[in-house]
Amino acid sequence: MDSIVLIGGGGHCQSVIDVIEQENKFKIAGIVDRPELLGTMVLGYEVIGNDENLEYLAEKYKYACICAGQIKTSSLRERLFSLAKKAGFLLPCIISPRAYISKHSSIGDGSVIMHNALINAGVTVGNNCIINTKSLIEHNSVIEDNCHISTGAIINGGVIVGKNTFVGSQATTKESISICANSFIKAGSVVK
């Protein structure tokens, strides 16, 4: 089983750990976080380095996953994704075995699909996205790079979600609309 390094050790990392353990494709080598956290543990996995160590770690481990969350802005996830790629890591999709992903959809590099998410036919999910627990992405929708579709959100058919967008918990979109890049959709919103 290949080893994977998790970049970012906060609350979202704990959820991703659970998905990786259930997916059973990767063995978690350790976590990259702030220098002062070196040697501490997150759910039994050690913080083994910080951003300055990424090139060294990429020589030792082939795969990485961005585990920083995203609410107000995607800038941290974008920066970490870029640093990991530059260091030489491959960033695979991480997909919960409890998610449904249509074979007629596509998921970009480094995206994480959490438990009970549903991605239907004709959907394209870009790179470095979070499709969070119990979210629904309906047919022929496009989720561009660096988006977070939060818990229980519903993206109806034919919607385009512009890059770097956050869609809050339980938000629902009307079908066939476009959401501008860098948008922030509040939890519980109806987007028309």
**What confidence tens digit (pLDDT) does each residue in 86-129 have?**
999 999 999 999 999 999 999 999 999 999 999 999 999 999 99
If asked whether residues 11 and 84 sit together in one domain, one would say yes
Position 23 in a domain: yes
If asked whether residues 85 and 112 sit together in one domain, one would say no
If asked whether residues 64 and 103 sit together in one domain, one would say no
If asked whether residues 42 and 104 sit together in one domain, one would say no
If asked whether residues 34 and 82 sit together in one domain, one would say yes
Structural domain boundaries, residue 75: 2-92
If asked whether residues 83 and 98 sit together in one domain, one would say no
Position 192 in a domain: no
If asked whether residues 11 and 76 sit together in one domain, one would say yes
If asked whether residues 118 and 53 sit together in one domain, one would say no
In this predicted structure, what is the pLDDT of residue 168? 98
Position 121 in a domain: yes
In this predicted structure, what is the pLDDT of residue 35? 96
Most distant pair of Cα atoms in the chain: their distance? 48
What CA–CA distance (Å, rounded) separates 176 from 41? Answer: 44
Q: Which two tokens stand for residue 154?
A: 């519903």
Tokens 């990767």 found at = 26
Instruction: Look at residues 92, 112, 131 and tell me which one is the last residue of a structural domain.
Output: 92
If asked whether residues 14 and 55 sit together in one domain, one would say yes
CATH number at residue 69: 3.40.50.20
If asked whether residues 83 and 6 sit together in one domain, one would say yes
In this predicted structure, what is the pLDDT of residue 179? 98
Domain count, the chain: 2
| Three-state DSSP state, 108 | coil
CATH number at residue 101: 2.160.10.10
In this predicted structure, what is the pLDDT of residue 128? 98
In this predicted structure, what is the pLDDT of residue 82? 97
What CA–CA distance (Å, rounded) separates 53 from 64? Answer: 13
What CA–CA distance (Å, rounded) separates 84 from 55? Answer: 8
Instruction: Look at residues 75, 92, 109 and tell me which one is the last residue of a structural domain.
Output: 92
If asked whether residues 98 and 178 sit together in one domain, one would say yes
If asked whether residues 110 and 182 sit together in one domain, one would say yes
Report residues of the chain scoring pLDDT below 70: none
For the chain, helix (H) and strand (E) counts, in that order, are 3, 22
